[in-house]
Structure 1
């Protein structure tokens, strides 16, 4: 009986996620960081290149937003699934990681949704906090 309840709950949660335009596999994260001393002029050109590359080469990147004020920058990223997030991680590592980490100091990473083991391993150096979805909807 518990097995049937688990299957029913799985379909219920997955069905509500799919109905509102989100997949049950969506992975999101929010990163906060500070601009390193002397790097303020490098921020916008770097982020513009990163946004352009992500938009052009990563169809599984659903949201890729940077917001900031002064030396504080926040990132909100949303991926269709773990595979799309890992594609981004690979592209970031190959093309931008060194410059990015020289420009910013990451102060926190919070990951939402069903992060897979490979994603957790890739994000481990930043000591993220993980929050799987327990309820909600999007419009």
Structure 2
């Protein structure tokens, strides 16, 4: 039996980072589901709603343009919050939420829908600017 050639260290680190990022994305969706499910204990629901809202929000506690510290919240606050929620939610229930989240992540995304949303935002901005220029 031949031994497989060892992978370069950077390759395994990159693969592990990709898997970790996928798991974080799945868990954010899972805790969002946990926050909305009445079977989840109320303390876990409150924490899950807070962490999911923070993770999905475009506004960060520390802005990303601040060197090093800007990404600290994304690398520490969100994963630690997810871990806290996972500890508070019963294991079988969390497994169900993760399975549902993984299934939702597999669904195809619509670029046309994204284009429509961006166009609607552009129209809203243009309409706001038109109203503002008439007002001024």
* Same fold, TM-score > 0.5, yes or no: no
TM-score (norm 1): 0.28
Larger-gyration structure (1/2):
2
TM-score (norm 2): 0.29
- Give the structure with the higher percent helix: 2
- Give the structure with the higher percent strand: 1
